[in-house]
Amino acid sequence: MRLSDFRVLTLDCYGTLIDWESGIYAALRPLLARGRISLERGEVLEAFGRHEASQEKETPRMRYSELLAAVHRRLADEWKVPADEAEQRAFARSVPDWPAFPDSRDALAYLAQHYKLVILSNVDRESFRGSNARLGVAFDAIYTAEDIGSYKPDRKNFAYMLDGLKERGFGRDDILHTAQSLFHDHVPAKEFGLATAWIDRQHQQSGWGATPPVEGARYDFRFSSLAEMAQTHRSEAAAGA
């Protein structure tokens, strides 16, 4: 199997293209400071991931910005810090401030020359627009949780995306699903028979960060960054020239 075997890259955004963990941690600093919370960064992110996954399952039709406010309330309650509506609103609006990974913009510009680029993301349209501006590429299709009415790893999200791509003339064999999260992306993608590329952004870190843990997940390619994936494609092309 080669990267050049595919015509479409379906991409997760947050954790894969956007450094959501840095963004989340920065946006939670006011709550941490006000509550004098002394948890390590990894512990903060683990608590966020646990509450986010639970809230997404409980309220699948809740808009992501509103869901972030709900997660903020849950964290404040867990850490026994009085809730603050202004902090909740700021956290809910923080997604456009989350930084892109340093390699994302250039790697996407290269990959866009060789693939259709499609987003499958657990956010709302407005939040994604802010992130899209940081990534500097025009995606060929964008499918969000707001469009679908559920959050990954719900299988409805992948069915919705595949139906949309089928209407555009692409089948499963054309698609390489590219994502960081084994939990949100690789497990359900494999259930649909998709080839997948794991962008292992946490390869130099311990723990699972803001993503719920998964053992034994399958994938077809593994890269430490999107830049490494783009360079592998270049190498394939040069070898075939």
Q: What is the pLDDT of residues 25-58, one digit of tens each?
A: 999 999 999 999 999 999 999 999 999 999 999 9
CA 120 vs CA 34, 59, 86, 107, 124: distances in Å:
35, 19, 30, 18, 11
91 with 180, same domain: the answer is: no
Q: Is 117 helix (H, G, I), strand (E, B) or coil?
A: strand
> Which one of 70, 97, 124 terminates a domain?
97
93 with 104, same domain: the answer is: no
pLDDT at 197 over 90: yes
Residue 211 phi, psi dihedral angles, 5° rounding = -105, 130
Ranges 35-39, 211-215, 226-230: which has the least confidence? 211-215
The domain containing residue 41 runs over which residues? 20-97
Catalytic positions: 12
- Position 241 scores a pLDDT of 52
pTM: 0.92
pLDDT at 205 over 90: no
> Which one of 97, 115, 134 terminates a domain?
97
User: Can you tell me the distance from the alpha carbon of 210 to that of 24, in angstroms, rounded to the nearest whole number?
Assistant: 9
User: Can you tell me the distance from the alpha carbon of 182 to that of 201, in angstroms, rounded to the nearest whole number?
Assistant: 12
Confidence of residue 208 (pLDDT cuts 50, 70, 90): confident
80 with 128, same domain: the answer is: no
User: Can you tell me the distance from the alpha carbon of 12 to that of 17, in angstroms, rounded to the nearest whole number?
Assistant: 7
Residue 212 preceded by cis peptide, ω within 30: no
